[in-house]
């Protein structure tokens, strides 16, 4: 066990985690010349194109040092805030972490939040200053920032460049010297932590785990503690670039397990594996079911593709257990699904994967969050509102609670004003303001999650000229004055455009929605009123004027009453038309509601 080192790489998005992992693999000879490629551990096309890591990846390397062979288990983690639960489980499986900071961009919001996660788990932190070969790098200043943040010695920070391979050997030596070897009881009952799982269409779910106590053998009967199900370990092994089956994975090591499970929902990240005959008494702490934060409707463009969309969603769920969906129907869009996502990036990725991997073109409705509505008839009745149409009548409502988050924004001192006004406009309350350096400020706000799922991130980048980094964590539910704003077209409610909004913003957003729809809805033979309403009260109205046919063209000269007669006849026709008229809503209209500020 003393020759095993388990470590992960934590950093903000785009600070060079995956490239650093590539160099470590090259240096230790874990990959051959033929297998080498950029972002080696990012196996999905989407990850490569966008340059982001979506799934955690584990890989084992061997490194000889002082005449002894060491086994290094690297767990590469996603940098994006949407996948922070997965990052927290990966961190729990390690004893050390490489904290990678970009020498050109310095410390960002996610670096700090991931660092706190690592410190909570008592990890040994090795700071790495990456990208020092860039012309825009500022190593001295960033070194001072890291020293202030960690309270470490400047000599402990390893300057490196993952692109050129500078400093890679020092990083590997630091891992062996500074990261403690795993501790665990070899003779205790099996206790292992699941930190990731992937779905293999031929072999079922492959579970990645770290053994804390005991060992896991091939053919052993095992049990998952939180789901309470028993399985046989058909195959266990270590993770190189390919999987290497072994007879036994011992205490402190990381490996994979194949049990032939066909349903990815049975394997939960953070669960504990133990022996079925001789189970452990204590599960690994920190397990939680992943809760979706953002909800949106996904509908097929053609209603006939509904069943096909269902099978695509089920296949996608096998690979991504944090996607939750249930069928729903909408008067405007027909049959579709109500889906839960971890955040806006997750929603974008799912939408893109549906289009790429399954050739499904879909319509996504306005994303929203889930609220708790309390009824005033039965005191303790809580109604979960995922969709604005689920909200009870105002007369039956006691109060509505919405999820709040703690948002951490790090920006340059010049942009504090614009960033603050943006957060206050989004109903944020400032909690703290800290100057990390004379040039860089950390702002902490409590904000409603609903306000950030729209366009918050884009606008934050705009007001700070791209210099702000943003990170958030949920802090629970708070009561808010929320109302349901409906959009009526020609007197009919369009349920796909309904939204739950705060009272203060309802009039303004209602008016802007009507104006936007007026531009997008094509003119008909009759007037179309577009109205925004709260309950029965109309708060805004725009009218799409009718296309007018000139019926009086054939009257030249003569009495005015002839013209009037024709116009009256036309008026009656228009009235009748409007009563039976159906307004087609173009697909752009659903997306336009998201971009009210443009």
Reduced to 3 DSSP states, what percent helix, strand and coil does the chain have, rounded to the nearest 5? 30, 35, 35
Per-residue pLDDT band for 38 (boundaries 50, 70, 90) equals: low
- Name, in order, each residue with C-beta under 8 angstroms of 193's C-beta and a sequence gap of 6 or more: 89, 92, 93, 209, 210, 212, 270, 271, 272, 273, 284
Per-residue pLDDT band for 52 (boundaries 50, 70, 90) equals: low
Taking the C-alpha atoms of residue 159 and residue 171, their distance in angstroms, rounded to an integer, is 9
Per-residue pLDDT band for 79 (boundaries 50, 70, 90) equals: low
Beta bridge partners of residue 528, listed in sequence order: 544
283 has a pLDDT exceeding 60: yes
Number of H helices, E strands in the chain: 14, 31
Average pLDDT, the chain: 79
In the predicted model, what is the mean pLDDT of residues 262-285?
78
Does the CA dihedral 254-258-259-264 come out positive or negative?
positive
What pLDDT does residue 53 have?
67
Percent of the chain's residues with pLDDT above 70: 88
pLDDT digits (tens, 9 = 90+) for 341-377: 877 778 888 888 888 878 888 888 777 788 888 877 7
59 phi and psi, to 5 degrees? -155, 145
What pLDDT does residue 51 have?
59
In the predicted model, what is the mean pLDDT of residues 518-546?
82
Cα angle 290, 310, 455 (rounded to 5 degrees) comes to 55
Q: Which residues are annotated as a binding site?
A: 14-19, 130-133
Q: Which residues are annotated as a binding site for GTP?
A: 14-19, 130-133
For the chain, how far is it from start to end, CA to CA, in angstroms? 59
CB 407 within 8 Å of CB 445: yes
Taking the C-alpha atoms of residue 347 and residue 167, their distance in angstroms, rounded to an integer, is 37
pLDDT digits (tens, 9 = 90+) for 461-507: 788 777 777 777 788 888 888 888 888 887 777 777 777 888 887 88
32 has a pLDDT exceeding 60: no
Of 48-62, 310-324, 575-589, minimum mean pLDDT range: 575-589
pLDDT digits (tens, 9 = 90+) for 331-346: 667 788 888 887 777 8
Q: Which residues of 130-156 are buried (b: 16+ CB within 10 A; e: fewer)?
A: bbbeeeebeeeebbebbeebeeeeeee
Per-residue pLDDT band for 583 (boundaries 50, 70, 90) equals: low
Taking the C-alpha atoms of residue 598 and residue 586, their distance in angstroms, rounded to an integer, is 19
- Name, in order, each residue with C-beta under 8 angstroms of 75's C-beta and a sequence gap of 6 or more: 6, 7, 8, 9, 56, 57, 58, 90, 93, 94, 195, 254
Does the CA dihedral 38-41-45-51 come out positive or negative?
negative
Taking the C-alpha atoms of residue 181 and residue 190, their distance in angstroms, rounded to an integer, is 19
Which pair of tokens denotes residue 189?
């009952």
Torsion angle of the four alpha carbons 166, 170, 173, 175, in this order, in degrees rounded to the nearest 10: -80
Per-residue pLDDT band for 62 (boundaries 50, 70, 90) equals: confident
What pLDDT does residue 590 have?
65
210 has a pLDDT exceeding 70: yes
What pLDDT does residue 31 have?
65
What pLDDT does residue 344 have?
76
In the predicted model, what is the mean pLDDT of residues 535-541?
84
186 has a pLDDT exceeding 70: yes
DSSP state of 3: T
What pLDDT does residue 379 have?
67
Taking the C-alpha atoms of residue 187 and residue 549, their distance in angstroms, rounded to an integer, is 90
43 has a pLDDT exceeding 60: no
- pTM for this structure? 0.70
Instruction: Tell which residue, 289, 80, 57, 292, has the closest CA to residue 196.
Output: 57
3-state secondary structure of 482: strand
What pLDDT does residue 158 have?
82
What pLDDT does residue 266 have?
77
In the predicted model, what is the mean pLDDT of residues 26-43?
60
Taking the C-alpha atoms of residue 84 and residue 10, their distance in angstroms, rounded to an integer, is 11
pLDDT digits (tens, 9 = 90+) for 105-139: 777 777 777 787 788 878 888 888 888 877 877 88
Q: Per residue, what are the HEC states of 429-480?
A: EEEEEEECCCCEEEEEEEEEHHHHCCCHHHHHHHHCCCCCEEEEEEEEEEEE
Taking the C-alpha atoms of residue 94 and residue 72, their distance in angstroms, rounded to an integer, is 11
Contacts 24+ apart (CB under 8 A), 424-429: 426/451, 426/452, 426/456, 427/451, 427/502, 427/504
C-alpha 3, offset from chain centre: 36
What pLDDT does residue 213 have?
83
What pLDDT does residue 105 have?
78
594 has a pLDDT exceeding 70: no
């Amino acid at each position: 066990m003393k020759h095993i080192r388990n470590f992960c790489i934590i950093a903000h998005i785009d600070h060079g985690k995956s490239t650093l992992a590539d160099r470590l693999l090259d240096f230790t000879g874990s990959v051959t010349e033929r297998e080498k490629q950029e972002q080696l551990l990012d196996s999905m096309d989407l990850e490569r194109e966008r340059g982001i890591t979506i799934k955690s990846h584990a890989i084992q390397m061997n490194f000889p040092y002082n005449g002894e062979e060491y086994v290094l288990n690297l767990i590469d983690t996603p940098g994006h805030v949407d996948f922070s639960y997965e990052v927290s489980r990966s961190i729990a499986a390690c004893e050390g972490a490489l904290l990678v900071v970009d020498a050109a961009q310095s410390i960002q919001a996610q670096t700090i939040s991931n660092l706190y996660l690592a410190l909570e788990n008592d990890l040994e932190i090795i700071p790495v200053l990456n990208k020092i070969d860039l012309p825009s790098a500022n190593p001295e200043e960033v070194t001072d920032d890291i020293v202030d943040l960690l309270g470490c010695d400047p000599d402990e920070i390893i300057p490196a460049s993952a692109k050129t391979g500078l400093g890679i050997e020092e990083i590997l030596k630091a891992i062996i010297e500074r990261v403690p070897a795993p501790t665990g009881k070899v003779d205790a009952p099996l206790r292992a932590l699941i930190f990731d799982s992937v779905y293999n269409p031929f072999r079922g779910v492959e579970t990645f785990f770290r053994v804390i106590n005991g060992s896991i053998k091939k053919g052993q009967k095992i049990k998952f503690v939180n789901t309470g199900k028993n399985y046989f370990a058909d195959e266990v092994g270590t993770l190189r670039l390919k999987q290497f089956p072994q007879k036994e994975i011992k205490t402190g090591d990381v490996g994979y397990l194949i049990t032939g499970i066909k349903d990815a929902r049975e394997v939960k990240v953070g669960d504990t594996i133990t022996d079925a005959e001789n189970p452990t008494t204590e599960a690994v702490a920190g397990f939680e079911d992943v809760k979706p934060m953002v909800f949106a409707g996904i509908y097929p463009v053609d209603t006939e593709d509904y069943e096909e969309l269902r099978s695509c969603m089920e296949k996608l769920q096998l690979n991504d257990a944090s996607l939750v969906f249930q069928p729903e129907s909408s008067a405007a869009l027909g049959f579709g699904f109500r889906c839960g996502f971890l955040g806006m990036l997750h929603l974008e990725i799912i939408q893109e994967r549906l289009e790429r991997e399954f050739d499904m073109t879909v319509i996504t409705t306005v994303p929203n969050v889930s609220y708790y509505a309390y009824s005033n008839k039965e005191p303790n009745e809580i109604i979960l509102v995922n969709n604005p149409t689920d909200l009870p009548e105002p007369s039956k409502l006691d109060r509505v609670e919405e999820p709040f988050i703690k948002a951490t924004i790090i920006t340059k001192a010049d942009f504090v004003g614009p960033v603050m006004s943006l957060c206050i406009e989004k109903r944020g309350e400032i909690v703290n303001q800290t100057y990390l350096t004379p040039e860089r400020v950390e702002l902490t706000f409590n904000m409603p999650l609903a306000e950030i799922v729209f366009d918050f991130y884009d606008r934050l980048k705009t007001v700070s000229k791209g210099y702000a980094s943003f990170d958030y964590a949920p802090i629970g539910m708070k009561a808010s004055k929320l109302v349901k704003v409906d959009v009526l077209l020609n007197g009919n409610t369009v349920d796909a455009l309904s939204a739950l909004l705060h009272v203060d913003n309802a009039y303004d957003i209602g008016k802007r929605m009507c104006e936007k729809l007026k531009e997008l809805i094509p003119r008909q033979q009759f007037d179309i009123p577009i109205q925004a309403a709260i309950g029965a009260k109309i708060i805004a109205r725009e009218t799409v004027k009718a296309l007018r046919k000139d019926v009086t063209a054939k009257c030249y000269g003569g009495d005015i009453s002839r013209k009037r007669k024709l116009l009256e006849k036309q008026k009656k026709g228009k009235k009748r038309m409007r009563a039976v008229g159906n307004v087609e809503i173009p697909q752009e209209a659903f997306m336009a509601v998201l971009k009210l500020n443009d």
